[in-house]
Amino acid sequence: MASGNAIRGSRVGAGPMGEAERGESAPRLRIAFWCSNGHETRPSFASDAQVPDTWDCPRCGFPAGQDRDNPPAPPRTEPYKTHLAYVRERRSDADGEAILAEALAKLRGEI
């Protein structure tokens, strides 16, 4: 049973969208970029825009360059360091033993 709605199945503003309504699009260039994993990305740029040297790969996140045979190296990530690792960088073993001896002497009531 049909209701008397004449615009059923359409939405406000629906209609053919074309160049006449939107205006002409700017001329585009599609530039190929390759990452170190061999993924190819082809973003489009306006023909008068400056193309960047690197582009982030949408698949792996590594930087991608325009040279397929020589892509940029992936960024080197430093491993997570614990608090103890940072302390060991600042102090020698002799310093650590002296601090430990001082703390034990305080606990024993010798100081």
User: Does some domain include residue 11?
Assistant: no
pLDDT means per 10 residues, the chain with 111 residues, are: 59 60 81 95 93 95 94 89 89 90 90 65
**Secondary structure letter of residue 46 according to DSSP:** E
Provide the domain limits for residue 37.
28-65
Whether residue 57 is annotated as binding a ligand: the answer is: yes
pLDDT value, residue 87 = 86
pLDDT value, residue 79 = 87
User: Does some domain include residue 12?
Assistant: no
Tokens of 54: 């690197």
Whether residue 83 is annotated as binding a ligand: the answer is: no
CATH number, domain at 50?
2.20.28.270
pLDDT value, residue 10 = 61
User: Does some domain include residue 8?
Assistant: no
Into how many domains does the chain fold? 2
- The pTM for the full model equals 0.54
- Rounded to whole angstroms, the Cα distance separating 45 from 97 reads 62
pLDDT value, residue 24 = 76
CA distances from 99 to 84, 104, 105, 106, 107 (A): 14, 9, 10, 11, 12
